[in-house]
Chains A and B, each alone.
Chain A
Amino acid sequence: MILKKYFNKKFYLNSSIVFVIFFLDRITKKIVIDLFQGNFGQEIYLSKYININLIWNQGIAFGLMTSNDVIFYNILTTIIVLITLLVFWMMLKSENSERYGFLIIFAGSLGNIYDRLYYNAVPDFIDLHVENFHWFIFNVADIFITIGVILLIFKEFSIKKK
């Protein structure tokens, strides 16, 4: 009876969302890494505005806090894991659209944490650009984290308006 309380329909739906996002992130990263091993690190042209370019990020967003120091990297990874746990806890506390926002962030963050632990860096490969203006190179996990954050910001603004 107690188990039924937790393992309900919502639980399965939420778990499947996390699993799908994590799997999507992993499969794209795996494809790109394999592609680049045979391509000798050359840029892959997809279209006029998107190229595939594999780079490894040891820091956080926008390449901040990138360091060759192992201790610093481990501290940073620990902070990221703690923030992810905080997001998970907030996800459990929240409801409706807010919960889904945290859920998407949590799933994306899991993808990046996996790379941090497995490769000691996060592979970024989506290079959006208009001619010579390049946006920050990112990955699928970053897309989902950003979507989750935008969702939460909208939720915040809608609460304030009410």
Chain B
Amino acid sequence: MKNFLLIIFTLIFLTACQASKEAFSIKKKDDSDQFLVKKKNPLVQPPNFNELPRPDNQTKNEPDDEIFELTIKSQNSSSGNITNNEYDSLENSVLNKIKKNEFN
């Protein structure tokens, strides 16, 4: 009996057969290392968070908007037929606005 057990023990350790199922199945490699993963710091409010400027409710009219309004007005008033004088005045007003913005 002793010899028989020794023989079986020898068979199990010395042979190197493998189940075909294990061989064909795709094994997931355990590559992840928990100690290599860097933990993210908890989210913190920036310093002087309360002192940051808040956006104003009253917004000033932008110069572009004014130009747009002017063009619309002039178009409505002339109803499609723009005379040379009106065209010149509109052009001048636009140029003036641009100049003002440049100096500002």
**Min C-beta distance of B26 to chain A, whole Å:** 13
**Min C-beta distance of A21 to chain B, whole Å:** 13
Confirm or deny: B22 has a beta carbon within 8 angstroms of a beta carbon on chain A: yes
Interface residues of A in 103-125 (CB under 8 A from B): 105, 108-109, 112, 115, 122, 124
Considering only CB atoms, which chain B residue lies closest to A128 in the complex? B20
Confirm or deny: B19 has a beta carbon within 8 angstroms of a beta carbon on chain A: yes
Contact A136 B18 (CB under 8 A): yes
Contact B18 A87 (CB under 8 A): no
Interface residues of A in 84-138 (CB under 8 A from B): 84, 87, 105, 108-109, 112, 115, 122, 124, 127, 129, 134-138
Q: How many residues of B contact A (CB 8 A)?
A: 21
- In the bound assembly, the distance between CA atoms of A138 and B11 in angstroms comes to 13
Contact A62 B10 (CB under 8 A): no
Interface size class of A (residues with CB under 8 A): 35 or more
Confirm or deny: B68 has a beta carbon within 8 angstroms of a beta carbon on chain A: no
Confirm or deny: B103 has a beta carbon within 8 angstroms of a beta carbon on chain A: no
Interface residues, chain B, with chain A CB atoms under 8 Å away: 3-4, 7-23, 29-30
- In the bound assembly, the distance between CA atoms of A80 and B14 in angstroms comes to 6
Contact B7 A156 (CB under 8 A): yes
Contact B16 A87 (CB under 8 A): no
Contact B17 A124 (CB under 8 A): yes
Which residues from B are CB-within-8-Å of A27? none
